Structure 1
Amino acid sequence: MQNSEAAAAQSASGLRLLDRTLRTLTFFALPAAVLCLPVLDLLADNRLDFEFGSFRAFYILEGGILALALTLVLFAASSRKWIYILFAGWLIGNLRIAAATLGWDTQWLGHDISPALVPYVRKATSALYYLLTFALFVELFEHELAQLRQPRLVRLGLALGFFLLAAAFVLPPSDFVLLTWWIASAGLITAAIIIWRLRVVARSGNIVWYSASLLMVVAAGAGVLETLGAMLHIGTASTAYVYWVTIFSSSLLIALAATEAERALRSKQSASASAASADHDALTNTLNQKGIEQRTLRGVRAISRGEPFAMGYLDIASLKTVNDLYGHMTGDDVLRQACARVSAKLESGHSLGRISGSELIILLCNTFFDDAQLLAHSIMDDLQASPVYIGARALQLKASMGLIEVADPKQAPQDVISAAARACRLARRNGTNQIVVHEYAEVAKAEHSQEFQLLREFSAGFSPRNLFLVMQPIMSLKDPYNSLDFEVLLRMRDASGNLVPATTIITAAEEGGVAPALDKWIIQTTLEWLDKNEPQLNNTNFVCLNLNGMSLNDAHFIEEFFSTLQAYRHVAHMLCIEITESIALRDLNDIHTFIEQLHSIGVRVALDDFGAGYTSFSYLKQLPADALKIDGSFIQSMTARPADVAIVEAIVALARNLGMKSIAEWVEDSATLETLASLGVDYVQGYAISYPMSPETLLQASCCVDFITDKTVQGFVRKELAGYA
């Protein structure tokens, strides 16, 4: 029994000795060696001339400390003695303090620290180093400090550290340095008192090792100072100036100057490239919106010096369809080809920019307006002269342009661009490949037009004031005396009582950002009217409503739209939502989902203006629409152009084969009506049947035939469609 107890005691004594040896090596001998060996290497170098190799020891020091810190972290993780992590942090703190002293602390692990953060990093490093040092000291002598029974001294030292850390984030560097000296002095005094008490009262042997390691570092530091002084020829109390040429060779200085000059040049080139990229469109390498506004401002200001200025606004209309049918990468390639063609036509002083997806700005500085018009027509002719190519496929570009003369040197760039955009919209309304030219007097007049005034109103927020709805009948050619279907149309009167065109209202709403609010008002008003008057609409199978493309792209509008339909579900089934072909092609998946949601409520869908764009009939299989509204441009001219008759006939046959109804709009005379009936069109809409009317007038009739006033049309409907003699 006694032998076993003796063996156990001997084993425990051995473990304590091993732990003591390990702690001594780790916390005292090893750090002193890591800190001192590079210093001794520098002292043994015996080179008093400055060379880059002299800093080899400093790199060894940095690598040694980081390697030691990592080793300690791994050891702490395996032994679960977290004092080693504290010690690793203290070693890294030493490294950062040394780096700050030598001016290396603007980097960390090869990465630059932001100059704005450097002062905060330095202050935080100093405060954390104090805290880590004091905390490590307390952990190392935990048992000895317990014997002193003076916890106030320990708490005071730690409290000073936390106070310093908080001050690092609020005090300016000058005040923080002063505070650091005061707190560090107080901390040193506190530590000195504790060390003396430990040596006298606790008679700790560890404190001897701790003091010895400190003496080694201090001695090594003194040696480094002496060596540096000898290397730079500076005595202990020397006040003489030392010039760089006495340290560096002239060839080294020349090489250094050349390197700095090269770096400055690269920096300047990089800044120039950054400035260029800031005002250029990355896709087309033309000006972006910022660049366009800057060049416009220059052009406007130059007017006061007698330099004429004009602006063109070019819309590549076919690009939207290319994106939808062939993808955005193909569309980007087509856009680049178009920009290259336009750029080839421009001369010195002219600039090309991209204001949005398919819309370009042409800035014609120091160019007379007559010359600007000739150039605009030349650009449009060139775009139409030959197709662009998508692989082996040729595509004919369609475009519209607005050209304006700018003559007011005080006009804002945004106003100039808006005026050019308005001219471009007018060109689009006139058809494809059109140019609208506005001289200065016309631009000034346009700014006071209905559209401009309405845009100002809508920019302040949507209000339904002066808005009202009218209804235009849509007659069935299969059963004209039993149909009272119609389309709801938007109308407005200005302050003078004059009727504002619907296109003007819609354009102003789009530019003012209130198109979704306008559509919401139309839908709500229509459903309320249907709810109130449903008993009088026995012959009404569907009511057409248009939705703006901006509304379909507004998630909040879509959510409110379906909530409103659910609230009026008992009459919502009468609606037929019209979506233009170009909008349907933007995102087939989203539009398909939208149509399916409408069908789930009983709402029908018609594709409006069908055939107006680059129609690819294959996409119709992906859109479960209920009807096709044939673009009015084919209907209006079909009696004079046999080709249009063939196109309409093909669309009608396509709709029939896909299970859709066909609706022809812009039917204005009896001859057109007779042709459409012979082609098998299901419904017709236009002045030949009726002009748009008030809701009250519509309720007075039982069918669309009641509104026909033309005797020839009446006779055809009665004899040929209804079969009456």
Structure 2
Amino acid sequence: MRRVVEKFINNAVVRIMPAAVLAVAAMAGIWHLSRSDSQHGTTLPLEVWEDATPQATTTPAQATEKLVAIEERASVETHLSTNTFWFGGHALAPVKSAGWRLELPSRHAVNLSCWDRTNGQSLGSVDRDHPADGIIDTVRGGFALAFDGTQREADFICRSDFRGPAKISAQVWTAPALARAQDGFRRTALTLEVGLGVLALSIALTAAINGSGMYWAFVGWMFISLRMALLSEGSDGQLFGLVLPAEVLTPMRQWTVFLYMISTANVFSMLFRKELISVGSGWMLKMHKLLSLALLPLCVLLSYEQMLPIVWVCSAALIALWVPYMYVFLSRLRSRHGIWYALSLIVTLAGSLSEVLAASLGHRALLAGLNSVTAAIASALLATAAVAEHMRADRMEREQAQRTLKAAYDDSPIGLFTVRDGEHIVRANPAFKAMLELPENIEGLRLADAFGDDVVGEFLMLHALAAPASLDLQARPLALRSLRPQVAVEDSDCWFAIKASTADGRVFEGSLQDITERVRATSRLEFLVNHDPLTDCLNLRGLSRKFERSQRPPKTLAYFDLDRFKLINDLYGHAAGDAVLKQACERIRSQMGPRDLLARVGGDEFVVAFPYASIAEASQRCENICALIAAAPFQIEQHRFTLSISGGLVAAESLGDASALKEIVSSADTLCRMAKKRPTQRLVVMEGGDTFFKHHKEELALIDCLERGETPTGLFLMMQPELSINAPYESLNFEVLLRMRKPNGELIPAQVIIEAAEAHGKTAIIDRWVVATTIAWIEAHAPRLTRTQFIGVNLSGSSLNDESFVEELFKLFEYHKDAVARICIEITETVALTDMLHMQRFIARARDLGVKVALDDFGAGYSSFGYLKGLSVDALKLDGSLVRDAASNPAGMAILSALGGLVRSLGMKSIGEYAENLPALRALVAAGVDYAQGYAISRPVMPERILAASSAVDFIEDADVLAFVKQLQTGDQASLPLQNEQRTAPGLAPASLLH
């Protein structure tokens, strides 16, 4: 019996009494609000006319004439029209009234001006921003005309503008009755602001404490609901006591209506998010978001009157969509907060319906005083209850989640533990104890008892920080002799991953996972990543990691390249080549010191790093490697191979202390390439102070620029004239040559630029600049190049094999057709023979655009007369070695003469390079070569000198050469063009290079 009484008292205190107080307070508030609207005036029929004239210039007299033919009505809807409305009527004073009022209650009226229809006298005017004038004043949400007791009737006409869904009506009041109604109107507004404000404040405190976005959204909805209730009551002209001007009030109403719909939809979505997902309607959440985003620009762009119909339609659609889901939530899911929210919606709809029915039946209130105002408070209370129920459900879910989490904590196969104060293990799950073979009772267990000092140090360091932090490490456990006396003292072979995090630096939540197999697999994988799988040498990545860890580069480093190794692969297959590589690595290792490192960085390329050897010691070891590789043949089954090796050795200190390994390897690679070009020197050694490093640093700077896809600064063009042997005074042809100048004015050799670009596959950047610059120069100086039939421009083989570059090149040619008619693309013979089909397509396409094509360095490679039939070039540029031989011995002269005759027979032109002196020039003339190029005619000159000359003869400085050239200019024979050009080329119209 005692327990029953205590339970009853507890329930009464906790539930019954608060519910009763809340119910009484709600009933009193609703009664009070309904009482405030019990008084009303006498409806006065009005004649209403909508003035649709553009400027609304109608006078009261004209409006009176219009109103005469219009039937009186109790009220007229404006239907969202923004036109001016005229209305009038005949009002009689209430019986026995000392003073009476004519109220025009529309809260959507922007202004009002009235006149006496009998004499046309103004009764006054008023708007939302200016004080009353005459007998008109603002009353409740609209305006009123004040008459004294002496005036028993009034025949009036008024003009007014409206914004929104206005209804034009009029009521006659006694002065005291309207004053009491005005007081009730103010009390209602105050009650709304206080009631809903307190509710919003309580929810705001809840949101701030819980940090919940949904509660903050509900606070916003409560504030918007307050504004909607004030709008419905007509008392929204103020915001927290601040009077809103007319230009602010209408946009405020527009945004209030829009935000009310959007916030209601969002609160619905947030309250029933889980329920919507559970019934497979997550799309509805996305629809609400999309609706908000779609309506927002409409609210900004459209007017109040244009926006309202859209909001009404959307609201009706949302309600039609919500009702079935509310039924599902209440009937199938039994959602308790859904019940409260449903009641809130029902009250809101009932309040709106009550006002509609009351207006249509001529009553002020139905359903026990329920209207939009009382419904707003009741709906807010019920919605608050829904939020409270949602909070209770969240709390229940969290409690259930805690119980589930506890079960998962105990049953987890991963070891979980808690560390306090950096070292004390205060809680652990069974998996943690099983992994470390700990007893059930771990009271007093410390990290130092289970793991080494490194783990304890990590925890203590984070504990000292006293800030949110985490750690992730791998560790090997200690043998816990005191807890596991049967286990040997030696360390376990097991590895564990430890992850821990803390919010305050005192309590750490950690996990423990057995990763023994993963560590072994990772070690093997790391070995494969850092080593060459064929030879087990380091690769370049592994070598870099070695020196990254030591944080210092090797003292000396060598780069080796096996000579003619590709021949073994081609003749005997890759299996034989792989066996040779393994034997080569063994021979290299045999000459290395114990701390030296060997890396395979290419197919047949190796790097040997000497971390501590001086340049002299490293040079001796490298010489031994070169000698050993070449000393004995490599035996592979029945085959014996003799190989040699080339190498480059560099001292890291000569490149500077801050040099990266990449720069050191690149320097050694350059030295190795130099060694391969020297037939007798297998090893090139460079130390500090050598000019090589200066050029190499320039090459590295160029490489960095090209790797970024940028054109190096300082590039410029020079031009070397080519003498027409048949008509030396009548042509001015030349070849474009690339040069580069550093900021200090010093020139960088062209070979450095070309080798850097070719070695890294970036020649397209250089060639693109050369071609574009040449075209721009031709277009800029076309009128001065009347004697220029062709201008030679070299293109590298890698650029011609770059499809994107070729397409860009032809687009440039197509846009600058006049300029490119003078360009002669020079293609190296060996490049042309690599892929003759591709090269012939390129040549044909270029010639179709008017571009000339010459085969460069003819005779330096694997020259064959047969392939000339498949390449329809315009000219052959004979290699300088042929010209030198012709000048010095009869056999060379015979070859040159044969080539000259062959070229003429094929309908091509011939150009002889390296015409360095008069004998070489005589040999070219005797062989029937068409053009000569070399120092005997001119060294490369700046473009300005080309523009100042009339022919290539102007550049000849040697008197003997000049005299010989004068003898060549006989008769009327002129320089033959490379294709079908005239002797004097037409002027070229300048065009923009940028197109």
Q: TM-score range by the shorter chain?
A: 0.5 to 0.7
Q: Is the 8 A contact 2:936 2:961 kept in 1?
A: yes
Q: How far does residue 690 in structure 1 lie from its aligned partner after superposition?
A: 0.6
Q: Which residue of 2 aligns with 1:595?
A: 843
Instruction: Please give the alpha-carbon distance, in whole angstroms, between the structure 2 residues aligned to 1:394 and 1:313.
Output: 22
Q: How far does residue 481 in structure 1 lie from its aligned partner after superposition?
A: 3.7
Q: Which residue of 2 aligns with 1:710?
A: 958
Q: Secondary structure at the match of 1:482?
A: coil
Determine whether 1:534 maps to 2:711: no
Instruction: Please give the alpha-carbon distance, in whole angstroms, between the structure 1 residues aligned to 2:553 and 2:713.
Output: 42
Q: Which amino acid aligns with 2:559?
A: G
Q: Which amino acid aligns with 1:713?
A: V
Determine whether 1:505 maps to 2:756: no
Determine whether 1:277 maps to 2:528: yes
Q: How does 1:429-508 map to 2 (within 5 A)?
A: 436-442=684-690, 445-446=693-694, 450-451=698-699, 462=710, 465-508=713-756
Q: How far does residue 687 in structure 1 lie from its aligned partner after superposition?
A: 0.5
Q: Is the 8 A contact 1:464 1:521 kept in 2?
A: no
Determine whether 1:670 maps to 2:915: no
Instruction: Please give the alpha-carbon distance, in whole angstroms, between the structure 2 residues aligned to 1:681 and 1:571.
Output: 27
Instruction: Please give the alpha-carbon distance, in whole angstroms, between the structure 1 residues aligned to 2:630 and 2:927.
Output: 33
Q: Secondary structure at the match of 2:916?
A: coil
Instruction: Please give the alpha-carbon distance, in whole angstroms, between the structure 1 residues aligned to 2:678 and 2:570.
Output: 28
Change in 2 beyond 3 A, CA 1:571/1:363: same
Q: Is the 8 A contact 2:787 2:951 kept in 1?
A: yes
Instruction: Please give the alpha-carbon distance, in whole angstroms, between the structure 2 residues aligned to 1:667 and 1:176.
Output: 97
Change in 2 beyond 3 A, CA 1:443/1:718: closer
Q: Which residue of 2 aligns with 1:156?
A: 333
Change in 2 beyond 3 A, CA 1:448/1:569: closer
Choose the corresponding residue for 2:592, options 334, 348, 351.
348
Gaps of 5+ in 1: 1-129, 133-149, 159-173, 183-238, 240-259
Choose the corresponding residue for 2:649, options 398, 403, 412.
403
CA RMSD of aligned residues (A): 5.7
Q: How does 1:381-420 map to 2 (within 5 A)?
A: 401-407=647-653, 411-420=659-668
Instruction: Please give the alpha-carbon distance, in whole angstroms, between the structure 1 residues aligned to 2:826 and 2:621.
Output: 39
Deviations 1:463-514 (A, max 9, x none): 5653321110122334434332210112232222222222233345567886
Instruction: Please give the alpha-carbon distance, in whole angstroms, between the structure 1 residues aligned to 2:679 and 2:793.
Output: 24
Change in 2 beyond 3 A, CA 1:265/1:462: closer
Q: Which amino acid aligns with 1:666?
A: Y
Q: Which residue of 1 aligns with 2:558?
A: 311
Instruction: Please give the alpha-carbon distance, in whole angstroms, between the structure 1 residues aligned to 2:624 and 2:898.
Output: 36
Q: Is the 8 A contact 2:717 2:736 kept in 1?
A: yes
TM-score when normalising by structure 1: 0.52
Change in 2 beyond 3 A, CA 1:669/1:495: same
Q: Secondary structure at the match of 1:608?
A: strand
Q: Which amino acid aligns with 2:333?
A: L
Q: Is the 8 A contact 1:667 1:686 kept in 2?
A: yes
Q: Which amino acid aligns with 1:290?
A: R
Determine whether 1:290 maps to 2:537: no
Q: Is the 8 A contact 1:486 1:544 kept in 2?
A: yes
Instruction: Please give the alpha-carbon distance, in whole angstroms, between the structure 2 residues aligned to 1:433 and 1:621.
Output: 41
Change in 2 beyond 3 A, CA 1:395/1:542: farther
Q: Secondary structure at the match of 2:558?
A: strand
Instruction: Please give the alpha-carbon distance, in whole angstroms, between the structure 2 residues aligned to 1:378 and 1:659.
Output: 57
Choose the corresponding residue for 1:561, options 795, 809, 828.
809
Deviations 1:24-70 (A, max 9, x none): xxxxxxxxxxxxxxxxxxxxxxxxxxxxxxxxxxxxxxxxxxxxxxx
Instruction: Please give the alpha-carbon distance, in whole angstroms, between the structure 2 residues aligned to 1:363 and 1:421.
Output: 13
Instruction: Please give the alpha-carbon distance, in whole angstroms, between the structure 1 residues aligned to 2:889 and 2:737.
Output: 29
Q: How does 1:367-386 map to 2 (within 5 A)?
A: 367-370=613-616, 372-373=618-619
Higher radius of gyration, 1 or 2: 2
Instruction: Please give the alpha-carbon distance, in whole angstroms, between the structure 1 residues aligned to 2:536 and 2:866.
Output: 35
Deviations 1:302-346 (A, max 9, x none): 85xxxx533225486996xx89xx989979977985786576455
Q: Which has the higher helix share?
A: 1
Q: Secondary structure at the match of 1:470?
A: strand
Q: Which residue of 2 aligns with 1:64?
A: none
Q: Is the 8 A contact 2:553 2:660 kept in 1?
A: no
Q: Which residue of 2 aligns with 1:67?
A: none
Q: How far does residue 566 in structure 1 lie from its aligned partner after superposition?
A: 0.8
Q: How far does residue 450 in structure 1 lie from its aligned partner after superposition?
A: 4.4
Deviations 1:609-656 (A, max 9, x none): 345456677665554443333444554566567886677677667756
Instruction: Please give the alpha-carbon distance, in whole angstroms, between the structure 1 residues aligned to 2:934 and 2:722.
Output: 8
- 661-670 or 457-466: which moved more? 457-466
Q: Secondary structure at the match of 1:480?
A: coil
Q: Secondary structure at the match of 1:421?
A: helix
- RCO comparison, higher one (Cα < 8 Å, 6+): 1
Instruction: Please give the alpha-carbon distance, in whole angstroms, between the structure 2 residues aligned to 1:587 and 1:328.
Output: 22
Instruction: Please give the alpha-carbon distance, in whole angstroms, between the structure 1 residues aligned to 2:882 and 2:542.
Output: 42
Q: Is the 8 A contact 2:726 2:968 kept in 1?
A: no
TM-score when normalising by structure 2: 0.40
Gaps of 5+ in 2: 1-277, 281-326, 336-396, 406-439, 441-493, 495-514, 973-995
Q: Which residue of 2 aligns with 1:235?
A: none
Q: Which residue of 2 aligns with 1:544?
A: 792
Instruction: Please give the alpha-carbon distance, in whole angstroms, between the structure 1 residues aligned to 2:531 and 2:611.
Output: 18
- 342-351 or 485-494: which moved more? 342-351
Q: Is the 8 A contact 1:462 1:514 kept in 2?
A: no
Determine whether 1:693 maps to 2:870: no
Q: Secondary structure at the match of 1:686?
A: coil
Q: Is the 8 A contact 2:728 2:968 kept in 1?
A: no
Q: Is the 8 A contact 1:343 1:352 kept in 2?
A: no
Instruction: Please give the alpha-carbon distance, in whole angstroms, between the structure 2 residues aligned to 1:650 and 1:403.
Output: 47
Q: Which amino acid aligns with 1:348?
A: M
Q: Is the 8 A contact 1:342 1:379 kept in 2?
A: no
Instruction: Please give the alpha-carbon distance, in whole angstroms, between the structure 1 residues aligned to 2:732 and 2:905.
Output: 26
Q: Which amino acid aligns with 2:744?
A: S
Q: How does 1:184-263 map to 2 (within 5 A)?
A: none
Change in 2 beyond 3 A, CA 1:331/1:568: farther
Q: How does 1:330-341 map to 2 (within 5 A)?
A: none
Q: How far does residue 545 in structure 1 lie from its aligned partner after superposition?
A: 0.7
Q: Which amino acid aligns with 1:156?
A: L
Q: Is the 8 A contact 2:823 2:851 kept in 1?
A: yes
Q: Is the 8 A contact 2:648 2:675 kept in 1?
A: yes
Change in 2 beyond 3 A, CA 1:564/1:340: farther
Q: Is the 8 A contact 2:587 2:629 kept in 1?
A: no
Q: How does 1:318-329 map to 2 (within 5 A)?
A: none
Change in 2 beyond 3 A, CA 1:514/1:370: same
Q: Which amino acid aligns with 2:592?
A: S
Q: Which residue of 2 aligns with 1:629?
A: 877
Instruction: Please give the alpha-carbon distance, in whole angstroms, between the structure 1 residues aligned to 2:907 and 2:630.
Output: 37
Q: Which residue of 1 aligns with 2:175?
A: none
Q: Secondary structure at the match of 2:935?
A: coil
Q: Is the 8 A contact 1:473 1:486 kept in 2?
A: yes
Determine whether 1:571 maps to 2:822: no
Deviations 1:375-415 (A, max 9, x none): 656777888999999xxx99999986533123467642112
Q: Which has the higher strand share?
A: 2
Choose the corresponding residue for 1:607, options 855, 865, 868.
855
Q: How far does residue 300 in structure 1 lie from its aligned partner after superposition?
A: 8.4
Q: Is the 8 A contact 1:400 1:432 kept in 2?
A: no
Change in 2 beyond 3 A, CA 1:381/1:710: farther
Q: Is the 8 A contact 1:310 1:367 kept in 2?
A: no
Instruction: Please give the alpha-carbon distance, in whole angstroms, between the structure 2 residues aligned to 1:697 and 1:311.
Output: 47
Q: Which residue of 2 aligns with 1:144?
A: none
